[in-house]
Structure 1
Amino acid sequence: MQKVMNWINEKLAPPLYKLTSNRDISSIMGGFQKYMPVLLVGAVFQILDNVLPLMFPALDGVFTIPTNLTYGFFAVLLTYTIAHSLAQQLQINPISSGLFSISVFFILQKPVFSEDGSFMLSLDRFGAQGIFVAIVAALFTTEILGLFEKKKWILRSEGLPDFVRDWFAPLIPGFLIVLAAWFVAYKLNFDLQASLATVIAPLLNTSDTFVGFMITAIVMNVLFLVGINPAITFGIFFPLWFAAIGENAALYAQGLPPVHINMLHTFAAFIVLGGTGATFTLNLLMLGSKSKTLKTLGRTTFIPSIMNINEPLIFGLPIAFNPVLGIPFFINGALVNPVLVYLAMMATNLVNKPVNPALIPWIPSVIQGFLLTQDFKAILLILVEYAVNIVVWYPFFKTHEKRMLDKEKAVA
């Protein structure tokens, strides 16, 4: 076991940490955070649009327009916020970066123009399904702008006001960026979004199988057990996860059942209850512990645990490198919760799959689960998980508690 832990820490972790600290990956996360207020407003309208008609049929469709014009333009606005986030890291003009990125996004979507000046483009491409194109457009555009700025390959405009210099600085790279996007989309006849859908479809189907879903859960929990935050894997899983939630959101908007389960949204709301390893119920046990040490730590970590943040528990209790607490951590996080969720969402379809592209991991799981699925049965599923989790944690917790009590008596 020690050899495996050493291999993960010395060989596997360093390149993964390098990946997650990459400025492009951090800019993607920053872009989502910047867009979150609009996305949450869209979530409210989507819930109203789907829940109110159940009680008041006359309100059917009343909130469809504000839903479509917030959620419906998810990818467009995300393009801007990702570019803005990356531009701040590169210390270049974030507004120019965002605007050029939106232009590239539209070009890569290949709208079809008619003779009367109108154009045709599915609204789905502006929403969650367009997330990958948004990421490509924002990163490509902003990195090129940053390169030209760094190399000083820009029009000089000394002696002019700052706002005038901002006009001229991106002219050369901006022209080349738009030209490149136009050439790829129209001269090479390359549809990035359609091509991605073709390539990623078999991977999505595989990841949604029971084996694929379980492998994802196991990897995340094993990493945390050896002290590595599983967020380092997000850069690898992002393309699959975003494609999955995008397709689910589009299907749901059309009144069709969503089909995908393996995505960050599922893990955030239904697997990591209290944090990776499903430690929320462990925290509840600590609140009632006879050990003063455990009770004090339980009180300190309770609020973060409600928000699904459990690093204080992982490294404070500790759970990492702890063979006793590591067993229930793995059982709950890698086996129990994934199996229950898969049975409820995929095998039996008793609970709706996530359809809300808003990524809101730092709110209580029962609220988050409902917001993501817009299904009240999601709350019941999470309560069932809590019940099973606390049963699994209990005997191992009592063993650890006895050890802590013995230590406290020895010190007293």
Structure 2
Amino acid sequence: MVTFIENRIIPLLIRIGEDKHLVAVRNGIVLTLPFTITGSLFLILANLPIPGWAELLGPFAAKLSAPAAVTFGAIGLISSIGISYNLAKEYKLSAITCSVVSVVVFLLAQLNNEYQLNVDNLGAAGLFSAIILAIFTVQTLRFFITRNLVITLPDGVPPAVAQSFSSLIPAIFVITLVWLIRVLLNFDINSFFTWLVSPLVSGLGSLPGMLTLIFLISLLWCCGIHGDNVLSGITSPIFLKYIAENTQAYLNHQPIPHITADGFYIVFMCIGGTGATLGLVLAMLRSRSKLYRSVGKLSVTPAVFCINEPVIFGCPVVFNPLLMIPFTLTPMLLCTATYCLMYFDIIGRPVLQIPWTMPPVFAAWFVTGGNIPAVIWSICTIVISALIYLPFFKLAERKQLERELAEEKGEDAFATTESA
């Protein structure tokens, strides 16, 4: 079984994670973070859970929430720019040209039946069409350029002008094609792409889907591979769509639709980093082993900000069968418990996007819009993490103490021999 995973499963996941298109999607989605986090800050200020705050703000609350409506309402448009830009760089094409053409194609696909721009599709509703159309546009331009199916101007022409004309033919082709499909054939491109990826979207919106994802991420990390990065090209657009829809519902004071939105996994399953290793770090701080105590001291500050490479590679967790068990088991148990608590509305669901480096407890408060039960649960997750890791760590500590004792005896014997 282990050989099968190492030889078949891991290489396949690595190839998927290294695919140029998924890398471009991952890096392009990152471009939305400054805007969505900024919008979330305005939304927090407009909805602070302080008695009398809403009455104090009055009509100004709507004005304070305006940046959130704009930033989350442009996620699809921003993603189109970011993805086409990064994919063009991968293929060494003009990134700015590809981005501009992609934006035009994306906007053309968002026309309604009256041929007017449907601004509602510029946000989360148009995210998947933004991804697919950005990739399609860059690939089309690449096809024309690599086969020299472009207008070539003399050498004396300024580079900017030459670049514009070289992209003219592929731009005409891709824009005409999308116009033909959306306008003449009246085919809803946005709805089609949303339907196309709906099985994956619904899968990651369920508890079994999340448990499968966490297992794969943990499996990759246990082999020394950054599991979150490998799979983020697939998962990031879905979680971003969920959080954008949750934010919109929160903004309109409606029921929050999604549980597994962006923040669900990071805030409640990654306590101290992937694998919820904060509990392991806390155990190492009190270890009798010199090695583990040193690693614990080095790891505790990064762990507070959800960075756990020091403990994963310093302990190590990588290729350590004993610690691989709690590393995988802990986030899966926390996922199950958190999902159930949110499903039954015992704790709040993610409504705001926050930096993934925000410390635990504080992160729970911000991501849920100031939900106190979620904060209490965040504290509980730290305790649960420590309790699960502790028995496994004690076994590892016992073995490490035996090694350290043997080394000390060896050094004492060597010193005695030299003295003699």
Same fold at TM > 0.5: yes
Larger CA deviation: 54-63 vs 36-45: 54-63
- Deviation at 1:106? 0.8
Contact 2:348 2:371 in 1 (8 A): no
Contact 2:76 2:126 in 1 (8 A): yes
- Deviation at 1:187? 2.6
- Deviation at 1:77? 1.8
Within 5 Å, which residues of 2 pair with 1:110-125? 110-113=111-114, 119=116, 121=118, 123-125=119-121
Specify the alignment match of 2:270 in structure 1. 272
Alpha-carbon distance between aligned partners in 1 of 2:90 and 2:317, rounded to the nearest angstrom? 35
- Deviation at 1:225? 3.2
Alpha-carbon distance between aligned partners in 1 of 2:300 and 2:105, rounded to the nearest angstrom? 45
> Which of 128, 138, 144 is residue 140 of structure 2 equivalent to?
144
- Deviation at 1:239? 5.7
Contact 1:53 1:60 in 2 (8 A): no
**Structure 1 residues 204 and 78: alpha-carbon distance in aligned structure 2, compared to 1, 3 A threshold:** closer
Contact 2:25 2:233 in 1 (8 A): no
1:258-298 CA deviation, whole Å, 9 max, x = no partner? 22223553212211222222101211221232221112212
SS at match of 2:263: helix
Larger CA deviation: 401-410 vs 165-174: 401-410
Specify the alignment match of 2:31 in structure 1. 34
- Deviation at 1:53? 8.0
SS at match of 1:70: helix
Larger CA deviation: 23-32 vs 230-239: 230-239
Contact 1:129 1:250 in 2 (8 A): no
Specify the alignment match of 1:109 in structure 2. 110
Aligned length: 401
Larger CA deviation: 96-105 vs 184-193: 184-193
Within 5 Å, which residues of 2 pair with 1:240-259? 240-259=238-257
- Deviation at 1:330? 2.6
**Structure 1 residues 95 and 280: alpha-carbon distance in aligned structure 2, compared to 1, 3 A threshold:** same
Contact 1:109 1:193 in 2 (8 A): yes
**Structure 1 residues 205 and 153: alpha-carbon distance in aligned structure 2, compared to 1, 3 A threshold:** closer
Alpha-carbon distance between aligned partners in 1 of 2:300 and 2:275, rounded to the nearest angstrom? 15
Within 5 Å, which residues of 2 pair with 1:146-295? 146-157=142-153, 158-201=155-198, 204-205=201-202, 207-231=204-228, 232-238=230-236, 240-263=238-261, 265-295=263-293
Contact 1:351 1:375 in 2 (8 A): no
Q: TM-score, normalised by structure 1?
A: 0.88
Larger CA deviation: 63-72 vs 52-61: 52-61
- Deviation at 1:188? 2.9
Alpha-carbon distance between aligned partners in 2 of 1:326 and 1:143, rounded to the nearest angstrom? 41
SS at match of 1:69: helix
1:81-117 CA deviation, whole Å, 9 max, x = no partner? 2211222222222211111111111111123447xxx
**Structure 1 residues 276 and 163: alpha-carbon distance in aligned structure 2, compared to 1, 3 A threshold:** same
1:328-380 CA deviation, whole Å, 9 max, x = no partner? 22321222x1122112211x212222233x47323323343333332333322
Larger CA deviation: 171-180 vs 146-155: 146-155
Specify the alignment match of 1:84 in structure 2. 85
Larger CA deviation: 294-303 vs 50-59: 50-59
- Deviation at 1:62? 2.5
Percent of counterpart pairs with the same letter?
Answer: 27
Contact 1:355 1:372 in 2 (8 A): yes
SS at match of 1:276: coil
- Deviation at 1:238? 4.9
**Structure 1 residues 211 and 31: alpha-carbon distance in aligned structure 2, compared to 1, 3 A threshold:** closer
**Structure 1 residues 53 and 71: alpha-carbon distance in aligned structure 2, compared to 1, 3 A threshold:** farther
Matched, 1:392 2:388: yes
- Deviation at 1:144? 1.8
Within 5 Å, which residues of 2 pair with 1:10-49? 10-49=7-46
- Deviation at 1:127? 1.5
Alpha-carbon distance between aligned partners in 2 of 1:145 and 1:199, rounded to the nearest angstrom? 24
SS at match of 2:63: coil
Contact 1:31 1:78 in 2 (8 A): yes
Unaligned 5+ segments in structure 2 are 409-420
- Deviation at 1:235? 4.1
RMSD of Structure 2 on Structure 1 (CA): 2.5
Specify the alignment match of 2:355 in structure 1. 360
Alpha-carbon distance between aligned partners in 2 of 1:189 and 1:265, rounded to the nearest angstrom? 37
Alpha-carbon distance between aligned partners in 1 of 2:318 and 2:40, rounded to the nearest angstrom? 36
Alpha-carbon distance between aligned partners in 2 of 1:126 and 1:296, rounded to the nearest angstrom? 50
Contact 1:275 1:310 in 2 (8 A): yes
Q: TM-score, normalised by structure 2?
A: 0.87
Alpha-carbon distance between aligned partners in 2 of 1:397 and 1:367, rounded to the nearest angstrom? 27
Unaligned 5+ segments in structure 1 are none
**What residue identity is the alignment partner of 1:40?**
I
1:25-78 CA deviation, whole Å, 9 max, x = no partner? 111121123333222211211222222786242243131222222222121122
